[in-house]
Amino acid sequence: MKILLINDYAMEGYGSELQFLNLRDRLRQRGHDVRIFSSNARLVQKGDILADYQCIGTLSRFLTLLQTANPWAYWKLWKVLHEFRPDLVHIRDFLTQLSPLILPLLKDIPALHHVDILRSVCPMNTKVLSDGSICKFKPGIPCYRQGCIPLRSLFFQILELWLYRRWRCNFDRVIAVSHSVRHHLLEDGVKTVDVIWNPVSMRDARPPLSLPPTVAFAGRLEYEKGVDELLKAFNKVLPHIPEARLIIAGDGKQQNYLKSLIFDLGISSNVTMTGHLRRTELERLFDSAWVQVVPSLWVEAFGSVAAEAMIRGTAAIASRIGGLAEIVQHGTTGLLVPPGDVDALAEAIKHILQDRELAEQMGQAGREYALENFDREIYTDKILQLYESIIQEKGP
């Protein structure tokens, strides 16, 4: 089978890109001719672009224009489709660089939209307002009135979503990475949406837990990830468990602010910020974690970080929002707390750090659940079955 994978970026940067690269490798191992089409914008400053085909992209101030209509993506993809002639096109993220202009090219080709972010229903990709509440508005003037989008960008971003809705009928099938994402897509008028959870890489279980009680966080250091809320909660835990440690892995715009917050809270001796780590380094470091915290303030489409903690055998504490509320079983594999509730987060962390046996039990339960639900081979089987179904339905 000849398969063209399309994504805004093709680098070993964040979860979505890694998922697509892993899928490409799995499909190639099974004998399929799989190629990736992406922009040449560099999501990670030193990341290598691993696409087979590239078009012009940007991270400059012109990004809003390119998101609305990227003519270079259209013409390059037109050429690729005529040269490669894929049996199926599988698109993941495309509204940040490639734009809806590429969708008319898919009219006569079996095509799948794999939705793992909320850009197609929310220009901010968060579905959360500035006060932390879930947004119930349709994209448009409310995006400006709620302070989400500046007036200078509003027209272009709303036009982008209008073009997407006009041409999304060219997708033969839509799948979502969680029931949370499916709910938002159905609300937005998509008629049928299947759900296939993301897989995670398999690994051996971590060793038995030892002192000191350790909390771990991995992810971008951005406002929506809630790292400052985690630091405030951890500060409330220390009077009860003064030997506790917190490891924060990742980088981002809030890095300097978070360093200042750690200093202001007086918890520098208990907190380690590692910066960005390669997956192998991160897993080795996090083997000591009693619990991994995912304190997101926005609607996480899936929550790969929580799934990765579970496959390691680490208990998870996560915000009760989006896909996180689906994959973390409250009281069994971890605990769920209201997003932005520092006191509830502190109590959940304290509850696990004060009971090593509970941390072990939750970690083991999480690993068993992850092995059953996040296996890459089973995931690849489901994707291939979906491909064959779409091709058969589309016909000659």
Spatial separation of the C-alpha atoms in residues 203 and 390, rounded to whole Å: 33
pLDDT per residue rounded down to tens, the chain (396 residues): 999 999 999 887 667 788 889 999 999 999 999 999 999 987 655 567 789 999 999 888 778 888 899 999 999 999 999 999 999 999 999 999 999 999 999 999 999 999 998 888 888 888 888 777 778 888 888 888 888 888 888 888 899 999 999 999 999 999 999 999 999 999 999 988 999 999 998 899 999 999 999 999 999 999 999 999 999 999 999 999 999 999 999 999 999 999 999 999 999 999 999 998 888 999 999 999 999 999 999 888 999 999 999 999 999 999 999 999 999 999 999 999 999 999 999 999 999 999 999 999 999 999 999 999 999 999 999 999 999 999 999 876
Q: Which two tokens stand for residue 373?
A: 């639900």
Return the ∠ at Cα 361 (arms to 331 and 351), rounded to 5°.
55
- What is the Cα–Cα distance from 122 to 195, expressed in whole angstroms? 19
Structural domains of the chain in order of their starting residue, each with its CATH number:
2-199+375-394 (3.40.50.2000), 214-373 (3.40.50.2000)
Peptide bond into 150 cis (omega under 30): no
pLDDT at position 119, please? 86
Tokens of 300: 């996480």
Residue 169 has what pLDDT? 94
Token pair listed for 299: 């609607």
- Ramachandran region, residue 8 (left: φ > 0; alpha: ψ -120 to 50; beta: rest): alpha
Please tell me the distance from the alpha carbon of residue 257 to that of residue 234, in angstroms, as a whole number: 16
